[in-house]
Amino acid sequence: MTAPDTTAQIPGITVTRPHRADARRNFDALLAAARDAFNRQGIDVALEDIARQAGVGIGTLYRNFPTRSDLVEAVYVSEIEELLRAAQDAIEREPWDALETWLRRFSGYVATKLAMLQGLNKDSEMFHVCRTAMYDAANPLFERAQAAGEVRKDTNLDDAMRLVAGVTASHYESDEQRARILNLALEALRTRPAAR
């Protein structure tokens, strides 16, 4: 895994990754294992389990993340970095496809955020900076899709994100049902040709 593109960094907030390739692999493995563990078991999961899943010792985890809060914050910031990269990657797509692709990635972020919510300080400067960066990255996608006539004029990016977040946060009988409801929510944002 390569180091993230610096253009996807959050202004004033960084996840400082090690420079050595092997140390960076361990760091990224810990982030991935923590994200997965938080999603499955919540943020109170044993740190030893996260280290084991990442294939490293507990000492390596503590060298990178001295406290559980450091690990939770790093997972959160890395999720935001991925959303920023996803917005950059989507910009080359057709307007609706770009927005839909990003909103689907955003739904994955919402699931991770919900799992970590009790460990995040929503009043912190870091949280506000990350939220602003996320909106700033997604807004050009939304505006371009709206300008192309693909998105309803009576809505905005905040509406779209709240819609996707609400759908993602609900409980479903199956993953198939969640996907079906997300599709319905995304279709509700789109314009419709006039009926004949």
Q: Locate 129 and state its tokens.
A: 């900076």
Using only C-alpha atoms, the chain has a radius of gyration, in whole angstroms, of: 18
Report pLDDT for 14: 64
pLDDT (0 to 100) of residue 193: 54
What confidence score (pLDDT) does residue 108 get?
86
Show the domains of the chain with their CATH numbers: 18-66 (1.10.10.60), 67-196 (1.10.357.10)
What is residue 22's predicted lDDT score, i.e. its pLDDT?
A: 85
CA–CA separation, 192 vs 126, rounded Å?
39
Rounded CA-CA distance 88/7 in Å is: 9
CA distance 45 to 193: 49
Residue 169: how many CA atoms within 13 Å on its side-chain side? 12
- d(C-alpha 93, C-alpha 174), whole Å: 30
118 touches 158 (CB < 8 A): no
pTM value is: 0.81
Q: Are 113 and 76 in contact (CB under 8 A)?
A: yes
Residues 6+ apart with CB under 8 A from 2: none
What single DSSP character describes residue 119?
G
> What is the pLDDT at residue 55?
96
- pLDDT tens digits in sequence order for the chain, 196 residues long: 333 343 456 665 666 676 788 888 999 999 999 999 998 888 899 999 999 999 999 999 999 999 998 999 899 999 899 999 999 999 999 999 999 999 999 998 888 887 777 777 777 888 888 889 999 999 999 999 999 999 999 999 999 999 999 998 888 888 899 899 999 999 999 997 544 4
